[in-house]
């Protein structure tokens, strides 16, 4: 969740095109790259981070390349339509195809592959394992 936002609510907008910014590996040796478009909630990102940390036994260094800064609103269940926009429910990160979500360094390829396979199971979109070579 962001520390401070200029506006409490945002419009949904469109999520078209390919990721240009954040589509190349910068920090680590291996990365988890998005193949689909969608929203990753802060809970999903945290669950994936925990899965990677558990699998690598906290070895190596992990970089999270996405940040959930888009407020997503949700009306309560069984509420009639109208009466304005709902309150912010959670925050999400907008992800386009080609966006690098996680990078890891200081671990072997098979450990990184296993860790990222577990992490990609936490996300609602398709991911791909990529390496520097």
Q: Is the pLDDT of residue 3 over 90?
A: yes
pLDDT digits (tens, 9 = 90+) for 97-120: 999 999 999 999 999 999 999 999
pLDDT in tens, 20-75: 999 999 999 999 999 999 999 999 999 999 999 999 998 899 999 999 999 999 99
CA distance 71 to 10: 6
Q: What is the pTM of this model?
A: 0.93
How wide is the angle at C-alpha 91 spanned by C-alphas 17 and 104, nearest 5°? Answer: 70
CATH number for the domain whose boundaries are 30-73+88-131: 3.90.1170.10
Domain ranges of the chain: 30-73+88-131
Confidence at residue 1, expressed as pLDDT on a 0 to 100 scale: 84
């Amino acid at each position: 969740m962001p520390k401070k936002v200029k506006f409490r609510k945002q419009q949904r907008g469109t999520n078209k095109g390919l990721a240009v910014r954040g589509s190349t590996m910068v920090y680590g040796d291996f990365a988890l790259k998005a193949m689909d478009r969608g929203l990753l909630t802060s809970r999903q990102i945290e669950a994936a981070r925990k899965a990677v940390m558990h699998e690598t036994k906290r070895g190596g260094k992990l970089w999270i390349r996405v940040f959930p800064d888009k407020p997503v609103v949700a009306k309560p269940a069984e509420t009639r339509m109208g009466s304005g926009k709902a309150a912010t429910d959670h925050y999400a990160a907008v992800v386009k195809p080609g966006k690098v979500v996680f990078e890891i360094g200081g671990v072997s390829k098979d450990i990184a592959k296993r860790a990222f396979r577990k992490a990609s199971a936490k996300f609602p979109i398709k991911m791909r394992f990529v390496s520097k070579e």
